[in-house]
Amino acid sequence: MNKKMFKSYSGQFLSWFASSLTIAACLGIIIYVFVMGYKSLNLNFIFTEPNPTQDESMVGGISTPIAGTLLLTAIGTLLAFPWALGTAIYLSEYAKKNIITQLFRLGIDVLAGVPTIVIAIFGVAIFSNPFFGFLSSKVEVEGVSKVFGKSFFVAGITMAIMILPFVIKTCEEAIKSVPDSYREGSLAMGASKWYTIIKIVIPSASNGIIAAIVLGMGRIIGDTAIVVLTLGATIRMTGLQPWWTPDNWISTLQNTGSTLTTYIYHMSPAGYGNMPEKAFGASLVLIVVIILLNLMTDFLVSNKKITKED
């Protein structure tokens, strides 16, 4: 075997080894969580609310954390998407290459790298201001009513800020992937630039844009720091009960709750409870949700892939 072939086979082996190691790590985590958590999975666990008891263990299920996860994901996604898409359109279709645009892109990159705990602290500091009192409930501190600064509204806005740079960059890449001939053909027919963007470019980039939304949702579902600091991480909904009735929706959104990630923490020995079997059961549900989101993303991306013309 000559030196050239040795390098080729060595590179191929190292690539295979790295890929196999990654797959093995992922499968190992999934299998371990499944083995430890599948015994907890049943209809009662899925559809009943957790019920704190005096010994700090938990009985009941995870219906409230599941609902909190879905509610928080919906709020964060709905707030972030229009903002992110508008920014992506500006950067890809209108922005000129100058120092201002470079600084703007730098700001997006910096925000993408900021730890979520820092964003969470920012959310608490800002939304505890009386000006934002309508977003959360109030608490009595030494006889003085103060803004609590923790609610689904507050956590949703903070989550939107967290996923914003990620969704912007992914949407921008999707828009840039649309061939220039699409734009040129529309403009040659007399269409305005805005009409071309709305009717030609955005529909052509829709798969990539939807994939960005789904991946952003995955970021929200898997976050813990923002939930703990801005949602309160209370095991149950603290608004008016029953929380799911239309008359109590506003109260629910202005008060605290939990998600699957904080439930897992509470149930683990490191948290307030000592129910690892329930923690693994909730972890298994969370992994299934994340897998479904990734499968959805892969389907959307591969369903209609647009390649940019050379």
Asked if 92 and 176 touch (Cβ cutoff 8 Å), the reply is yes
Q: Band of the pLDDT at 1, cuts 50, 70, 90?
A: low
For the residues 118-126, what does the mean pLDDT come to?
Answer: 90
State yes or no: pLDDT of 137 exceeds 80. no
pTM of the model: 0.83
**Which of 46-55, 159-168, 297-306 has the largest mean confidence?**
159-168
Percent of the chain with pLDDT strictly greater than 90: 21
CA atoms within 13 A on the CB side of 144: 5
For the residues 99-126, what does the mean pLDDT come to?
Answer: 90
Q: Band of the pLDDT at 89, cuts 50, 70, 90?
A: very high
What confidence score (pLDDT) does residue 290 get? 87
Model confidence over 6-20: pLDDT tens digits?
777 788 888 888 899
Tokens found for residue 57: 């263990």
What confidence score (pLDDT) does residue 308 get? 43
Tokens found for residue 82: 């229009």
* Calpha distance 266→27 (Å, rounded): 25
What confidence score (pLDDT) does residue 139 get? 67
277-to-11, 30, 34, 61, 222 alpha-carbon distances in Å: 43, 15, 11, 12, 20
- At residue 145, what are phi and psi to the nearest 5 degrees? -80, 125
Model confidence over 189-241: pLDDT tens digits?
888 888 899 988 998 888 888 888 988 998 999 888 898 888 887 777 777 67
* Calpha distance 280→299 (Å, rounded): 28
63 by Cβ neighbours in 10 Å (0-12 / 13-18 / 19+) ranks as: middle
CATH of domain 44-303: 1.10.3720.10
User: Domain extents for the chain?
Assistant: 1-40, 44-303
Q: Band of the pLDDT at 80, cuts 50, 70, 90?
A: very high
Q: Which residues pair with 52 in a beta bridge?
A: 58
* Calpha distance 281→39 (Å, rounded): 8
Q: What is the mean pLDDT of the chain?
A: 83
Which positions ≥6 away from 259 have C-beta within 8 Å? Answer: 65, 68, 69, 72, 221, 227, 231
Please give the helix or strand (H or E) that residue 43 lies within, else none.
Answer: helix 43-47
What confidence score (pLDDT) does residue 255 get? 85
What confidence score (pLDDT) does residue 54 get? 45
Place of tokens 């890929």: 19
Model confidence over 235-271: pLDDT tens digits?
777 776 777 777 778 888 888 888 898 888 888 776 5
Asked if 221 and 286 touch (Cβ cutoff 8 Å), the reply is yes
Residue 233, sorted as left (phi over 0), alpha (psi -120 to 50) or beta, turns out to be: left
What confidence score (pLDDT) does residue 72 get? 92
State yes or no: pLDDT of 2 exceeds 60. yes
147-to-104, 117, 135, 175, 229 alpha-carbon distances in Å: 33, 21, 9, 41, 14
Q: Band of the pLDDT at 306, cuts 50, 70, 90?
A: very low
For the residues 80-92, what does the mean pLDDT come to?
Answer: 92
